[in-house]
A and B are shown apart, each in its own frame.
Chain A
């Protein structure tokens, strides 16, 4: 991997919200989790655990309790923190795992959109999620039916507060 190709992948990634109706096989979702598996974590704690859902009916039900989720998607990954492996850095670690999923999906021709809007008690009951797993993120997955334009980014100079040294 060279820097140019990595930067190209980072810049090409979009949050995709419109998907084709084409189903997503479970193996594809597992491939995405395989990418997440290799994310860094504090003390190698690997606090994440996942629910993979490609049942059209269940995805549709989960959408009804996710007010910020606006379009239908054929599949969903629910990222959880496993409390038994939790550290102070678990949310940071999960962000790295999420990015692995998003980039991996891009490389597989899939589109994703992270969704933070869902009711934890309802999905916990609905999917019988045990108490030691805390759902923290939905990731909608599907074959893109759009190529959203790139969103703006703050200029580098605005992001670098200070340079110390040469």
Chain B
């Protein structure tokens, strides 16, 4: 199969999100959080298709988490625990970036 371009990959994410919204409005309402996490996982691969994007550590943490247990990452309570930890990491990252901006 032909290798995916950035456009192809962006479209793949679009398909996933449209399908997720449609399903979450219906019988898969409870899967909303895991679909969002899956989207973060997909975003972690964007730099592979668009090299000018550097990616970031948070996305890499999501990737490691999903790939650590691909069939159960979406289950609670581990998803809740991971997202709670990720939220703290997010605060640290925001602070780091604000610091960098002040310096420049």
B35 contact from A67, A121, A122, A148, Cβ within 8 A: A67
Of the candidates A64, A67, A118, the one having the most CB atoms from chain B within 10 angstroms of its own CB is A67
- Contacts known (A17-B71, A56-B1, A119-B19); A64 close to B12, Cβ less than 8 A: yes
Kindly report which residue of chain B lies nearest to residue A122, judged by CB atoms. Answer: B19
Considering the chains assembled together, what is the distance between the CA atoms of A118 and B26 in angstroms?
Answer: 11
**In the assembled complex, which residues on chain B have CB atoms less than 8 Å from the CB atom of A60?**
1
Q: Interface SS of chain A: helix, strand, loop or mixed?
A: loop
A68 contact from B1, B12, B18, B28, Cβ within 8 A: B28
Whether A2 sits at the interface, judged by CB under 8 Å, is: no
Whether B31 sits at the interface, judged by CB under 8 Å, is: yes
Interface size class of B (residues with CB under 8 A): 10 to 19
Considering the chains assembled together, what is the distance between the CA atoms of A117 and B31 in angstroms?
Answer: 10
Considering the chains assembled together, what is the distance between the CA atoms of A56 and B2 in angstroms?
Answer: 12
Number of A-B contacts (CB under 8 A): 43
Interface size class of A (residues with CB under 8 A): 10 to 19
- Contacts known (A56-B1, A57-B1, A117-B28); A67 close to B70, Cβ less than 8 A: no
Considering the chains assembled together, what is the distance between the CA atoms of A118 and B19 in angstroms?
Answer: 7
A-to-B contact residues, CB < 8 Å: 17, 56-57, 60, 64-68, 70-71, 116-119, 121-122, 148
Q: Is the CB of B23 within 8 A of A117?
A: yes
Kindly report which residue of chain B lies nearest to residue A118, judged by CB atoms. Answer: B19
Considering the chains assembled together, what is the distance between the CA atoms of A141 and B20 in angstroms?
Answer: 23
Mask of B1-39 contacts with A, CB within 8 angstroms, 1/0: 100000000001001101110110001100100010010
